[in-house]
Amino acid sequence: MQQKLQNLLQLLDDESPTIQKIIETEILTNALSFTIDQEKYRNQLVNEHLAQFDELMKALNTKLVKKSLRMLKENSPDDIDLEKAMLIISKWESPGIDCNQISSKIDRMAEQILKTMPKSGHPLGIIDHLSYYIFNVVHFSGNSTDYYNPDNSFLHKLLETKKGIPISLSILYLLIANRLDIPLFGVPLPAHFILKYYQGEDEIFFDPYYQGRIYSRDICIGYLENTNIENFDSILDGCKNIDIVTRVLKNLRLVYSSYEESPVKSSEIELFLEVMVLPN
């Protein structure tokens, strides 16, 4: 299949509408691969085809993102791959990014954390170690001065600016934890997002936005008592990756509809949300 696609891309300069339609159809049929591994296809093109390829990718960007999210969801009916979903959303905002380079940055962070990770001890030590590295070694922080900047929600922008909001900082923890087999789960509090470590009898809630501040279950329940939530366990048990991605998209919809108004971006996010909430 990859060779077939590469052969088709060699026909980018063919002005035949039929050929161009075939190329577009094949790209969308393989949207997930083209979105995540776009640089791989681009690097195998001759120079005279690069501008045409970039132009086509830009023109198809919203369709590619929507189809990629749908394919991601269809491929994993129980949940979705959080990292790929966040890379796809980043690709929507910045079509020219290299997804593999972004993943490699997180790989390197996980490798550095592992070098000094405690081999044993209480899980609090693991959480403290993660938080110390993220906030004191590589200097990430919550963006309290520009909270509603859309950059705070995109994975590639978070890695670039090292500033984020509760859910994007939580996602960074989750992606690192996944590489290190640390059992972390997202906890979708109303108007806030935290994480918990959960394994056996160990349940520890903590807040990535406030540099890993530890909360007891009672503190979390006290927070929920001031909301309209009735079933506290449904929140504190944690959520799936698809719930996290949906919340990121809803945050972006709010930003683009109320703070940095962009009707086009807001309407495109609605298309992505439809994919997330509709059954397979």
Residue 90 lies in a domain: no
Residue 50 lies in a domain: yes
Residues 191 and 241 in one domain: yes
Residues 22 and 121 in one domain: no
How many domains would you assign to the chain? Answer: 2
Residues 65 and 117 in one domain: no
Residue 88 lies in a domain: no
Residue 94 lies in a domain: no
150 half-sphere exposure, CB direction, 13 A CA radius: 21
Residues 110 and 23 in one domain: no
What residues have CB less than 8 Å from 266, skipping those under 6 apart? 253, 256, 257
pLDDT tens column, 81-127: 999 999 999 999 999 899 999 999 999 999 999 999 887 778 999 99
Residues 109 and 59 in one domain: no
Residues 261 and 169 in one domain: yes
Residues 107 and 233 in one domain: yes
Backbone φ and ψ for 199, nearest 5 degrees, come out as -160, 125
Residues 28 and 151 in one domain: no
Q: Is 218 helix (H, G, I), strand (E, B) or coil?
A: helix
Residue 82 lies in a domain: no
Residue 145 lies in a domain: yes
Residues 127 and 219 in one domain: yes
Round to whole Å and give the CA distance between 280 and 278: 7
Q: What is the pTM of this model?
A: 0.94
Helix (H), strand (E), coil (C) string for 1-57: CHHHHHHHHCCCCCCCHHHHHHHHHHHHHCHHHHHHCHHHHHCCCCHHHHHHHHHHH
Residues 173 and 126 in one domain: yes
Q: What is the mean pLDDT of residues 21-25?
A: 87
> Range of 144's domain?
99-277
pLDDT tens column, 153-189: 999 999 999 999 999 999 999 999 999 999 999 999 9
Residue 39 lies in a domain: yes
Residues 159 and 219 in one domain: yes
Q: What is the mean pLDDT of residues 242-267?
A: 95
